[in-house]
Chains A and B, each alone.
Chain A
Amino acid sequence: MIRIDENGFYGKFGGAFIPEMLYPNIEELRENYLPIINSEEFQVEFRHLLKDYVGRPTPLFLAERLSEKYKAKIYLKREDLCHTGAHKVNNTVGQIILAKKLGKKRIIAETGAGQHGVATATVCALMGMDCTVYMGAVDMERQKPNVERMRILGAKVVPATSGSQTLKDATNEAMRQWINNPVDTHYIIGSVVGPHPYPEMVAKFQSVISEEIKAQLLEKEGRENPDMVIACVGGGSNAAGAFYHYYNEPSVRLIAVEAAGLGIFSGKSAATTSLGKLGILHGSRTLLMQTEDGQVVEPHSISAGLDYPGIGPVHAHLFDTGRGEFVAVEDEDAMVAGIELSRLEGIIPAIESAHAFSALNQLSYNPSDIIVINLSGRGDKDLETYIKWGNY
């Protein structure tokens, strides 16, 4: 059974390892998030925005040419068709409504690739909330179009100039700013990471993905459960959403795909379950890439969204218990898979999502198996990377 205990632990992973200065913020959330998000009023607004603003339900598409090539029945969960181009917006819609109900006036967020930053800036514009997004200075350079998208949407983008100036540093900076602004500000974390209750809360908002998969598969196949669900894992929010309603369905294989970068043991990788040890980052105890001295190691992936040195505690638990199967895909193989999907199905995936497709090459299954791949985002933001790579 995958469940979270009252202190926010999935098995030995999770918890809230935060400075006391954040305790009141976290406590306020912990006490209020379930009553609020379970309320009828919240659900009506959330469902309405998911439907009419985000464009849900997203299709579950039978990819026939891909199925033929990989000899299984492969469905794509089309999160790439969400407003703003990725699953990230499911979470930001949920959290912005929550923030409003908590009486917050300002929103802060971290972003790596800029997808979560854009999804946050978007809902802040929608709700008329003040929005500041922290982004590593290096990532701001790498992901210029998303920086400008956020600015067009009215958000302030602040460079994180500490450490390695990427996602983990942007997260550090957002946490620091939350310490500095404890009363009127809500921090919208972008994945199933951070102190309890964030990992579970974000997973709940993303769980609409597997809720829809169940209904859509039932309609198309007469059964709710596929044989396998595949999703990429950076922090793990799209995977948590795609797995959520299958955690306790043992017949469904849950495949989590990490970024191996230039090779798991190349020193340029983000394959946390292969390289990580138990550690504490951003408020939760989880698997973490770190040196022998407990300093956090800078990861590498060609996809900025998978470029994170930890994974959400629920995924560490899936790994630890064997409930999840973890696969690592290298940069080059992800790019090839991205082009393959473009050619076979006419869909250019985000490079994060391309990792999930490449995993098909490493898995064994039966021709009669039904496989759902969570297509977490579209490739528009990655055009420059595709062009630079050039092999198409």
Chain B
Amino acid sequence: MNRIDELFKKKSENILSIYFTAGFPSLEDTLPIMKAIEAAGADIIEVGVPYSDPIADGPTIQESNLVALNNGMSLRKLFDQLADMRKEVNLPVILMGYLNPVVQFGVEKFCQKCQEVGVDGLILPDLPMSQYLTEYKEIFDRYELRNTFLISPQTSEKRIREIDSHTDGFIYMVSSASITGAKAALSAEQLAYFERVRLMGLKNPRLIGFGISDNATFKTAASYSHGAIIGSAFINVLKSAEDQEKAVIEYIQGVINN
């Protein structure tokens, strides 16, 4: 059974998904960071595939992408690093990245590799639903990869329902009209949007991401959904960490607990 499906079957609240960019801060950090995320008690690992032109990302993730690329990260390298990850990592693993590197790698070959190393799902922000349905879905399905779509406060109810009907994993709720980046607090407007979507009775679980950074924002977001996703704030932790494993565990436990 796909690990994403399994997770949502077991757990329906306070799910924490952690994003980091593969190859950041150092090229070979990928697997150690994944293990630390799991040891800390998070629920999903999102491994970012770095890209030269990340148009949905703010300065923090732009920088981690650039550093990772300069370190020599690539899809080829990443699949090498992940080759034996299932000996040590049990959490669902999602690759998140932009479409172009995937297209260059070859969509079919990419999916095959994902399945081979034990990747469970994909988030490709610049793959629109129409193209997914006509060109990609059949391939993703064949390799049992769950595709996650994003929605934002501007997404119409009709569109959300359409996305829900074509999703079988979870829906990624972008918390505000915004690119990625850590923010201090969630506004009343954002909470109203979370509530509006909560009341829609979608068939898929919802995780809220973009701007979630600490215990307070995590708990608030999770009270309107099944959980939340942290990216930029986690990258900032990695950036300033002296003892990486310790910093990861302390940070994540701080987000979950209290």
Binary contact track A67-107/B, C-beta < 8 Å → 1, others 0: 00000000000000000000000000000000000000000
Asked whether, in the complex, the Cβ of A21 is within 8 Å of the Cβ of B126, the reply is no
Interface stretch among A145-153, A207-215, A221-229, A281-289? A281-289
A290–B74 alpha-carbon span in the complex (Å)? 13
Q: A20-B149, A21-B152, A176-B56 are in contact. Are A293 and B74 (CB under 8 A)?
A: yes
Which residues of chain B are within 8 angstroms of A172 by Cβ–Cβ distance? Answer: 53-55
B83 at the interface (CB under 8 A from A): no
Number of A-B residue pairs at CB separation under 8 A? 115
Shortest distance in angstroms between B59's beta carbon and chain A's nearest beta carbon?
A: 7
Within 8 A of A (CB), among B109-165: 125-131, 149-152, 154-156, 159, 163
B105 touches A21 (CB 8 A): no
Residue of A16, A281, A293 near B53 (CB, 8 A) is A281
Pair A163/B52 contact, Cβ less than 8 Å: yes
Closest B-chain residue to A177, C-beta based? Answer: B179
Which stretch from A50-58, A180-188, A320-328 is at the chain B interface?
Answer: A180-188
Q: Chain B residues near A267 (CB, 8 Å)?
A: none
A18 in the interface, Cβ–Cβ < 8 Å? yes
Give the B interface residue count (CB, 8 A): 43
Contacts of B149 in A (CB 8 A): 20
Does chain B have a CB within 8 A of A162? yes
Please tell me which stretch of A132-140, A258-266, A272-280, A373-381 contacts chain B, meaning at least 4 of its Cβ atoms lie within 8 angstroms of it: A272-280
Nearest CB in chain B: distance from A21 CB, A: 4
- Closest Cβ neighbor of B149 among chain A residues: A20
| Structural contact, B131 and A294, CB atoms closer than 8 A | no
Contact A20 B177 (CB under 8 A): no
A44-B38 Cα distance, complex, nearest whole Å: 64
A20/B131 in contact, CB under 8 A = no
Question: With contacts A19-B125, A23-B155, A176-B179 known, is A278 near B103, CB below 8 A?
Answer: yes
Q: Which A residues touch B99, using CB under 8 A?
A: 17, 280
Closest Cβ of chain B to A234, distance in Å, is 17
Given A283-B126, A292-B104: A21 and B56 within 8 A (CB)? yes
B75 touching A293, Cβ below 8 Å: yes
CB distance from A130 to the nearest CB of B (A): 18
Map CB proximity to A onto B167-200 as digits: 1 under 8 Å, 0 otherwise: 0000000100111000000000000000000000
The answer, among A23, A179, A293, for a CB contact under 8 Å with B178, is A179
Option from B53, B129, B151 in Cβ contact (under 8 Å) with A163: B53
Interface residues on chain A, size class? 35 or more
Nearest A residue to B56, CB-CB = A19
Counting chain A CB atoms within 10 Å of each CB, the highest count among B75, B76, B131, B177 belongs to B177
Query: With an 8 A cutoff between CB atoms, is B17 at the interface?
Result: no
* B-contact bits for A139-179, CB 8 A (1 contact / 0 none): 00000000000000000000000110000110010011001
Provide the bound-state CA to CA distance between A292 and B100, in Å. Answer: 11
Q: Is the CB of B154 within 8 A of A279?
A: no
Q: What are 24 residue pairs bridging A and B, where the CB atoms are less than 8 Å apart in the complex? A: A7-B130, A15-B131, A19-B55, A19-B56, A20-B128, A20-B149, A21-B150, A21-B152, A23-B128, A24-B154, A172-B55, A176-B55, A176-B57, A180-B177, A180-B178, A280-B100, A282-B53, A283-B126, A290-B100, A293-B76, A294-B75, A294-B100, A294-B101, A295-B101
